[in-house]
Structure 1
Amino acid sequence: MIFRQLFEKTSSTYTYILADANTKDAIIIDPVIETVDRDFKVINDLGLKLKYAINTHVHADHVTGSGLLKQKIPGCKSVICDPNAKADIHINEGDKLNFGIKKIEFLSTPGHTNGCVSIVCHSAKSIFTGDALLIRGCGRTDFQQGNPGLLYDSIHTKVFTLPNDYIVFPAHDYTGQTNSSIGEEKKYNPRLSKSKEEFIQIMNNLNLPYPAQIDRALPANLVCGVQE
């Protein structure tokens, strides 16, 4: 497996590139439009063939780079769960995608938004949780179909049923951490280690500011980041 974890500092977004080392077939998860040139260079430098540009959900804090990557890389297909967002492939719970001999599986993990998915790569013992589960945190639930009870259930019935040693790679981190594990988050996550009732109370009283890029990001992300 070829693996890269890349960072976009304005929105504190992690973008991930995964590839089969033999066939060089690759996927990218949660690309950001401002860093497409960087990602494109990594893909070219490593001789990768990008098959899929995947968004874990319709982001509110940055514009996706998936549409621009499609323009730069013929044959690349955009992937999302949300049926209201434009994409070449709309995936659902349990769907799988192959890149070379490697495979990813999608878990529906709504609660931050209705269309959130987490992406499991069993061969790498890893899960890419988008905004659903963060390192010692979780995505906010106060806008864009957010529902704290639904998010709690998504994490506990889907993500937390994976083995404790699976590595958690989130879509964001604001403290400089790069990854965690299922076992760590079950034990130490200050929100999701609580009861469902306590979690809902915490999430309903965060009083967070309005997302800085939401008015720009949401309309753009419904059309893959660019008008094609």
Structure 2
Amino acid sequence: MKFSQVATCEWVGRFLRCTLHILLASFWFRKLSTMPGGSAVGTPNLLFRQLLEKESSTYTYLLADLSHPDKPAVIVDPVDRTVDRDVNLVKELGLKLVYAMNTHVHADHVTGTGLLKAKLPGVRSLISKASGAKADVYVEHGDRVQYGSLFLEVRATPGHTQGDVTYVSGEGPEQVSPRFAFTGDALLIRGCGRTDFQGGDADQLYKSVHSQIFSLPPETFLYPAHDYKGLMATTVGEEKLYNTRLTKSLEEFKTIMKNLNLAYPKMMDIAVPANLKCGIQDDVSPSAL
């Protein structure tokens, strides 16, 4: 083969590879640009809002099924300080809040579930049965939290606390694709929650994340309960590549968590007792979902 022919073949090869990369990038951009991120709406029948409480850097999430006449909604990890904001938003958008739910018993802020129940009659508080907290509704691994035609799947992800769960968007023809999940403190963006109090266990957390969160498709969006660097969302694929703790081996991870030497949470002695009541009144009896 002559030199000119070789050069032509190499040029054609480079052109084809570049074209393929452009096409793939374009496909993924179109796919991801329609998914939930920040305050965007991921699908015509899903309303999605990501809200911030600045003092504790807590994210609260509001979801609703707009295709249903009542616009049923759920709110995940509400904070007492921002309840008025959340109530106003629910009313402005014409939503019917069904559940005020928590991913776990928080140690850095007081949940807003009790105030939401007082201000929006008909709302029920929800938390995992394993949390040991009071609530109107207890959920366990494999349960569904329904709001209209949409639902969140409950996955047990203990390790930060014994009662941690991750809420994963449903799978099916009427559900959102790609899926998304609210990971609480079990998985943070490029990190994870501490494991040195409330029954925390580094070995258990590592196994929870790898079996229940990293097992989701790589394009699954992940929304944590907190972020301290201004990041809002991540994906399973990103965290499996770049998480500074959970990409390590189990033994390396346990060593990292053992040597964090973090300060005692300043709100813990106030927040945990309050959150074990999950904001409900003493005369309300828990019920099954």
Could you say whether these structures have the same fold, taking a TM-score greater than 0.5 normalized by the shorter chain as the test? Answer: yes
Residues 17-54 of structure 1: per-residue CA shift (max 9 Å, x gap)? 00001221000000000000000011000000000011
- Any runs of at least 4 consecutive aligned residues in structure 1 with deviations exceeding 4 A, and if so which? none
Higher relative contact order (CA 8 A, sep 6+): 1
Partner residue, 2:263: 209
Residue number in structure 2 paired with 1:19? 64
Residue matched to 1:223: 277
Q: 2:109 aligns with which of 58, 62, 73?
A: 62
Could you say which structure has the larger radius of gyration?
2
> Residue 227 of structure 1: CA displacement?
5.0
SS in 1 for 2:214: helix
Query: Whole-Å Cα distance in 1 between the matches of residues 269 and 279 of structure 2?
Result: 13
Asked whether the equivalents of residues 2 and 19 of structure 1 are also in contact (C-alpha less than 8 Å), the reply is yes
Instruction: Give the Cα–Cα distance (whole angstroms) in 1 for the partners of residues 118 and 278 of structure 2.
Output: 11
Please point out which of 40, 47, 68 is paired with 1:2.
Answer: 47
Aligned to 2:136: 88
* Match of residue 153 from structure 1: 207
**2:29 aligned residue:** none
Counterpart-to-counterpart distance in 1, 2:151 and 2:279: 26
Q: 1:44 aligns with which of 91, 94, 98?
A: 91
Which of 101, 109, 116 is the aligned partner of 2:149?
Answer: 101
Instruction: State the alpha-carbon separation in 2 of the partners of residues 32 and 47 from structure 1.
Output: 21
Over 3 Å counting, the alpha-carbon distance change for 1:216 and 1:227 in structure 2 is farther
Q: Within the alignment, does 1:34 sit opposite 2:81 as a pair?
A: yes
SS in 2 for 1:4: strand
Give structure 1 stretches of 5+ with no counterpart.
none
What's the RMSD between the two structures over aligned residues? 1.0
Q: Alignment length, in residue pairs?
A: 228
The separation in 2 between residues aligned to 1:43 and 1:221, in whole angstroms, is 23
Q: Hey, what does 1:77 align to over in structure 2?
A: 124
Q: Given the alignment of the two structures, is residue 175 of structure 1 paired with residue 229 of structure 2, yes or no?
A: yes
1:101-180 matched pairs, under 5 angstroms: 101-122=149-170, 123-124=175-176, 125-180=179-234
Q: Distance in 2 between matches of 1:87 and 1:152?
A: 27
Does residue 185 in structure 1 map to residue 239 in structure 2?
yes
TM-score (norm 1): 0.98
> Please, what TM-score do these two structures have when normalized by structure 2?
0.77
Residues 135 and 280, structure 2, Cα contact 8 Å, conserved in 1? no
Question: Which residue in the other structure is 1:53 paired with?
Answer: 100
Could you say if the C-alpha distance between residues 83 and 138 of structure 1 is closer, same or farther in structure 2, counting changes exceeding 3 Å?
closer
Give the residue type in structure 1 aligned to 2:205. L
Distance 1:177 1:227 in 2: 35
**Equivalents in 2 of 1:87, 1:210: separation in Å?**
27
The structure that is strand-richer by fraction is 1
Percent identity of equivalent pairs? 57
Offset at residue 225 of structure 1 (A): 3.1
| 1:137 CA displacement | 0.4
